[in-house]
Amino acid sequence: MPQKSQSQWNGIIKTGAFAALAMLVVMIAQILVFVLWPPPSTVEGFYALFQHSKWLGLLSLDLLYLVNNTLLILFYLGLFAALRKVSFSASLIALVLGLVGIAAYYASNTTFEMLSLSNQYATATTDAARLQLMAAGQVMLETYKGTSFDVYYVLNGIMLLILAVVMLRTTVFNKVTASFALASGILMSIPSSAGAIGMIFALLSLIPWAVFSVLAALRLLKLAVTEIN
């Protein structure tokens, strides 16, 4: 199979850089939504929220995170393209783990299922039907922060740890960028669904993750206009 030309790799690297910067915008928007409109904690609360505002209901169940993770795929591809010459095997393993994790997240997100159940609940005419829909909603919320979500979280943490080690072995990325990747990966060792400590670790991980994303994006943009092959 012929190797990709420099311009083709540069396109992937540049796309990854812009995706990383776009992720930060999405992340800030998601944080603002949660701060200004804290999501409910019960099925009944979500059903009522969806009937009040479908968009706010969707945003409260991580609609923007679906967008974020799509951008994350492009960011990961950019990082792989930049680091493939340093350690192809480690970079590929990190990429695969990250992509599998993202696929697991898509499986865990029940945003539109909850919207459908909310609409059914609003038009239900019997107590039995409402009880069934409440039970179905509870299953959706458990899935939302269940096994698939934990797999996504942990695999992405491992991915960051691998990339950090690869970055420390090269001058493609500096030690500061690698250190923030390492810090974020360590803090992601405990999923945000693991009670209070998980939430604390998740919130703390946002800081090094945001810094890493900015530093990595800037470096990727620079690499896209220089010879790295």
Could you tell me the two tokens for 92?
């590929």
Amino acid at 49: L
Q: Are 109 and 66 in contact (CB under 8 A)?
A: yes
The answer to whether position 1 is within a domain reads: no
- Condensed to tens digits (0 to 9), the pLDDT of residues 77-107 reads 999 999 998 999 999 999 999 999 999 999 9
The answer to whether position 146 is within a domain reads: yes
What domain range includes position 180? 6-223
Rank 3-7, 159-163, 191-195 by mean pLDDT and report only the highest: 159-163
Q: Is the dihedral of CA 215, 218, 219, 220 positive or negative?
A: positive
The answer to whether position 137 is within a domain reads: yes
The answer to whether position 228 is within a domain reads: no
pLDDT, the chain, mean? 89
The answer to whether position 71 is within a domain reads: yes
The answer to whether position 128 is within a domain reads: yes
Alpha helices in the chain (DSSP H): 6-36, 43-52, 54-60, 63-83, 88-108, 111-123, 127-144, 147-168, 175-187, 195-223
Mean pLDDT of 129-145: 91
Task: Pick left, alpha or beta for residue 227 (phi over 0 → left; psi -120 to 50 → alpha; otherwise beta).
Answer: beta
Q: How confident is the model at residue 190 (pLDDT cuts 50, 70, 90)?
A: confident
The answer to whether position 162 is within a domain reads: yes
Percent of the chain past pLDDT 70, that is, above it, reads: 96
3-state secondary structure of 7: helix
Q: How confident is the model at residue 50 (pLDDT cuts 50, 70, 90)?
A: very high
At 6 the pLDDT is 55
Mean pLDDT of 180-205: 84
Give yes or no for residue 193 having a pLDDT over 80: no
Could you tell me the two tokens for 158?
């491992």
Could you tell me the two tokens for 170?
């090269």
Q: Are 202 and 185 in contact (CB under 8 A)?
A: no
At 223 the pLDDT is 87
The answer to whether position 229 is within a domain reads: no
- Total domains in the chain come to 1
